[in-house]
Chain A
Amino acid sequence: MAEGVVFWLAAIASIGSAVFMFLARDAVRAALGLVMNLFALAVLFVLLDAHFLAAVQVIVYAGAIMVLFLFVIMLLGVDRADDLTERLKVQSWLAVPLVFGLVAITYLSVRGAAATTEFAGLDEANASGNVEGIGRLLFNEYLFPFEVTSLLLIVAAVGALVIGKRRRASRTDREDEDA
Chain B
Amino acid sequence: MSVDAPAIMKAAWLIPALPLFGAAVLTFFGPKMKRASGPFATMMMAGAATVSGIVFFQMLGATERTFVGTLYSWISAGSFQVAVDYRVDPLSILFCLVVTGVGALIHLYSVGYMKGDPREPRYFAYLNLFAFSMLVLVLANNFLLLYVGWELVGLCSYLLIGFWFEVRENASAAKKAFITNRVGDFSFSIGIFLIFAQIGSLDFGTVFASAPAVLSAGTATAIALLLFGGATGKSAQIPLYVWLPDAMAGPTPVSALIHAATMVTAGVYMVARTHVFFDLSAASGDVVAWIGLATALLAGLIAIAQDDIKRVLAYSTVSQLGFMFVALGVGAYATGVFHVVTHAFFKALLFLGAGSVMHALANRTDVTQMGGLWRKIPWTMATFVAGWLAIIGFPFTSGFFSKDQILEAAYGSGNDALWILLLVATLVTGFYMTRLLVLTFFGPSRVPDGVHPHESPPSMLFPLVLLGAAALLGGLLGARPEDGAIQRFLQPVTAPSVTSELGFEGEVPFVEDLERPEAFPHREGGLSEGQLSGLATAAGVGGAAVALIMYAGAFDWRRRRENPGLAWRAARNKFFVDEVYQFLFTSLGRLGATALAFVVDTRWIDGVVNGAGMMTTRLATLGRRLQTGFVRSYAIGVLAGGVGLMAFFFVRSVV
Contact = CB atoms under 8 A, between A and B. Distances in A.
A and B touch in the complex (CB under 8 A): yes
Contacts of B633: 88, 90-91
A101 B643 contact: yes
A94 B646 CA distance: 17
Contacts of B647: 101, 105
Interface string B640-652: 1011001101100
A88 B643 contact: no
Interface string A138-174: 0000000000000000000000000000000000000
A108 B650 contact: yes
Nearest to B637: A94
B625 to A, nearest CB: 11
A105 B640 contact: no
Contacts of A101: 643, 647
A101 B161 CA distance: 87
A120 interface: no
Interface in B594-648: 628, 630, 632-633, 636, 639-640, 642-643, 646-647
A95 B650 contact: no
Interface residues of B, number: 13
B630 A105 contact: no
Interface string A84-95: 000010110011
Contacts of B643: 98, 101-102, 105
A109 interface: yes
Contact of B640 (A88, A98, A108, A109): A98
A109 B645 CA distance: 12
Given A98-B636, A102-B643, A88 B630 contact: yes
Interface string B287-303: 00000000000000000
B646 A109 contact: yes
A32 B229 CA distance: 100
Interface in A69-104: 88, 90-91, 94-95, 98, 101-102
Contacts of A94: 636, 640
A94 B633 CA distance: 10
A68 to B, nearest CB: 22
Contacts of B628: 88
Nearest to A95: B636
A98 B633 CA distance: 13
Contacts of A91: 632-633, 636
A114 to B, nearest CB: 14
A88 B632 contact: yes
Nearest to B642: A102
A159 B632 CA distance: 25
A91 B630 CA distance: 11
- Counting chain B CB atoms within 10 Å of each CB, the highest count among A88, A102, A105, A109 belongs to A105
A108 B639 CA distance: 18
Contacts of A106: 646
A88 B626 CA distance: 13
A91 B628 CA distance: 12
A94 B649 CA distance: 22
A95 B640 CA distance: 9
A32 B649 CA distance: 38
A109 to B, nearest CB: 5
A98 B646 contact: no
A88 B633 CA distance: 8
Interface in B396-415: none
A107 to B, nearest CB: 10
Interface string A10-32: 00000000000000000000000
A98 B644 CA distance: 10
Given A88-B630, A91-B633, A98 B639 contact: yes
B101 to A, nearest CB: 96
Nearest to A86: B632
Nearest to B632: A91
Contacts of A88: 628, 630, 632-633
A102 B639 CA distance: 9
Contacts of B639: 95, 98, 102
B650 A109 contact: yes
A35 B643 CA distance: 28
B354 to A, nearest CB: 94
A109 B650 CA distance: 6
Interface string B567-606: 0000000000000000000000000000000000000000
A105 B646 contact: yes
- Counting chain A CB atoms within 10 Å of each CB, the highest count among B630, B640, B649 belongs to B640
A82 to B, nearest CB: 14
20 contacts: A88-B628, A88-B630, A88-B632, A91-B632, A94-B636, A94-B640, A95-B636, A98-B636, A98-B639, A98-B643, A101-B647, A102-B642, A105-B643, A105-B646, A105-B647, A105-B650, A106-B646, A108-B650, A109-B646, A109-B649
Given A98-B640, A101-B647, A105-B647, 19 more contacts: A88-B628, A88-B630, A88-B632, A88-B633, A90-B633, A91-B632, A91-B633, A91-B636, A94-B636, A95-B636, A95-B639, A98-B636, A101-B643, A102-B646, A105-B643, A105-B646, A106-B646, A108-B650, A109-B649
List 3 A-B pairs, minimum CB-CB distance, nearest first.
Answer: A105-B646, A109-B650, A101-B643
